[in-house]
A and B are shown apart, each in its own frame.
Chain A
Amino acid sequence: MFRLFPETPDDHDEVEYLFDLAFAPGREALSSYRLRDGISPLRALSLVARDPTDGIAGAIRYWPVRIGEAGHRALLLGPVAVHPTHQGEGLGAALILDSLDRARDAGWERVILVGDEPYYRRFGFRRAEGLQFPPPTNPERLLALALQPGAFEGVSGMVRRDG
């Protein structure tokens, strides 16, 4: 059993440690981090999972971004990570689905991420047609999910920083 709750500033160092553990060194050199530099994650949607001993078991973060010249608002999902000792238990799916519910309830309309389409397809993500991501990014890994019907109609262009 894992308690899920919005990340607080007190969780920051543990969450960063988890991401360092889960991802290759130099993760912050990825192009997606250029969209996050100097911008805080959205606290209400960025969740931490703790196990019954209070240990950090997983975390997910969301960031605000803009799409195209029109500046359509969107969420950038990621990183999401589960501690190696808790992988295969369904915690990643719980974090993704619960946070997407919260995003939908908060009125967000669209989510994008850079990731493996075969994994994220189960959550409804599909190749993001008409969107570009700052290079170097494999366009086949840019995925999108509409939280509201038609949320990506007329939305195209480069994904850019919000602010």
Chain B
Amino acid sequence: MTLLRRDRRFSRRAAMLQWAGIVPSLVPTRLTIAGNEVPAPTYPRPLVKTLRFSDTPLALYEGVVDLAAKVPPNDGTERPPMAELTLQACSDRICLDPQKMRFALC
């Protein structure tokens, strides 16, 4: 199994990441590899906190997060497997626009 290791840029930027789509207007953290959803157990357990901008408790990642995933075998082409991480970073007061981060698994 290959691990998606933590990434310094990722950890610096991501103060808090919503883990699951509890609040419809927020985007849950989602990892895909080669366009396929990674099985849910690869996500670590979240913290459940209430932030200042909402009374609804949110499931969050805070600080450095390690996500593990099985990388599919090479499909025989030149293209290394690609991973895409969708996340939305929030502070206690605001959430930034969701963003997608792409990784070449080579």
A: residues with CB less than 8 A from B are 1-5, 49-50, 52-54, 89-91, 93-95, 97-98, 122-123
Query: What is the bound-complex CA distance between A154 and B102, given in angstroms?
Result: 36
Q: Give B20 Cβ to nearest chain A Cβ, in Å.
A: 24
Q: What 1/0 flags go to B60-83 for Cβ under 8 Å of A?
A: 000000000000000000111011
Cβ-neighbour of A54 out of B9, B79, B102, B105 (below 8 A)? B9
Q: Give B87 Cβ to nearest chain A Cβ, in Å.
A: 13
Closest to A123 in B: B78
Contact in complex: B105, A1 (CB < 8 Å) = yes
Residue from A1, A49, A89, A93 whose CB has the most chain B CB atoms within 10 Å: A1
| B residues less than 8 Å from A2 (CB atoms) | 103-104, 106
| A residues less than 8 Å from B80 (CB atoms) | 89-91, 93-94
| 6 A-B contacts (beta carbon < 8 Å) | A1-B7, A1-B104, A3-B7, A52-B6, A93-B79, A95-B104
Query: What is the bound-complex CA distance between A123 and B9, given in angstroms?
Result: 30
Query: What is the bound-complex CA distance between A98 and B100, given in angstroms?
Result: 14
Query: What is the bound-complex CA distance between A15 and B102, given in angstroms?
Result: 19
B: residues with CB less than 8 A from A are 4-10, 78-80, 82-83, 101-106
Main secondary structure of the interface of B (DSSP, over half): mixed
Contact in complex: A1, B4 (CB < 8 Å) = yes
| B residues less than 8 Å from A53 (CB atoms) | 8
| A residues less than 8 Å from B10 (CB atoms) | 3
Apart from the given pairs A1-B103, A4-B102, 15 other A-B contacts in the complex at a CB distance below 8 Å: A1-B4, A1-B83, A2-B103, A2-B104, A2-B106, A3-B7, A3-B102, A52-B6, A54-B9, A90-B80, A90-B106, A93-B79, A97-B79, A98-B102, A122-B78
Closest to B102 in A: A4
Query: What is the bound-complex CA distance between A53 and B105, given in angstroms?
Result: 15
Q: Give B89 Cβ to nearest chain A Cβ, in Å.
A: 15
Query: What is the bound-complex CA distance between A49 and B105, given in angstroms?
Result: 11
Closest to B5 in A: A52
